[in-house]
């Protein structure tokens, strides 16, 4: 049933959790950016002794270097097998969905036979399982 109080509460807490993660990720990115800026500034300053200066931020390795090593695009297992994986995943979802649908339909179609009542509340017929 839609509109139950528990559904609203569950939606609220799910939304709260989702937005909390989004805010936490944004704060984390800002803190990393601020830390990188401070690190770069302090590593270039002359008034801090050489032994106390932080190491400057590393420059990322260019993609063409990764491609030469074989770790870049075009050589990975995923790129070779992504269509096979996609077809297996779609097939699995279809089988699970069809099985679940058939099972739920079978459960709904089973109607229990009830014996007819008599005016005094008793039953008129005997019904077996």
Question: Is residue 99 domain-resident?
Answer: no
Question: Is residue 40 domain-resident?
Answer: yes
Handedness of CA 90, 22, 34, 50 (dihedral sign): negative
Question: Is residue 85 domain-resident?
Answer: no
Question: Is residue 79 domain-resident?
Answer: no
Question: Is residue 42 domain-resident?
Answer: yes
Contacts of 116 (CB under 8 A, 6+ apart): 123, 124, 125
**pLDDT above 60 for 106:** yes
Question: Is residue 123 domain-resident?
Answer: no
Question: Is residue 2 domain-resident?
Answer: yes
- Could you tell me which residues are beta bridge partners of residue 123? 117
Query: Distances from the Cα of 61 to the Cαs of 58, 72, 78, in angstroms?
Result: 9, 11, 22
Question: Is residue 31 domain-resident?
Answer: yes
Name the residue range of residue 14's domain. Answer: 1-59
Entry pTM: 0.37
Q: How far is it, in rounded angstroms, from Cα 67 to Cα 64?
A: 5
By mean pLDDT, which of 43-47, 70-74, 116-120 is the weakest? 70-74
Q: Of 4-8, 86-90, 116-120, which one has max mean pLDDT?
A: 86-90
Based on the structure, what is the number of domains in the chain?
Answer: 1
């Amino acid at each position: 049933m839609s509109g139950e109080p528990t559904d609203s509460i569950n939606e609220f807490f799910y939304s709260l959790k989702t937005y909390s993660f989004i805010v936490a990720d944004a704060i984390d990115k800002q803190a990393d950016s601020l830390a990188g800026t401070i690190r770069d500034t302090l590593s270039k300053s002359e008034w801090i002794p050489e032994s106390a200066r932080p190491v400057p931020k590393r420059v990322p390795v260019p993609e063409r270097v990764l491609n030469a090593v074989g770790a870049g695009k075009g050589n990975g297992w995923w790129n070779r097998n992504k269509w096979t994986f996609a077809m297996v995943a779609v097939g699995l979802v279809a089988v699970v969905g069809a099985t679940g649908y058939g099972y739920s339909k079978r459960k709904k179609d089973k109607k229990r036979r009830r014996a007819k009542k008599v005016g005094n509340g008793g039953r008129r017929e005997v019904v077996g399982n």
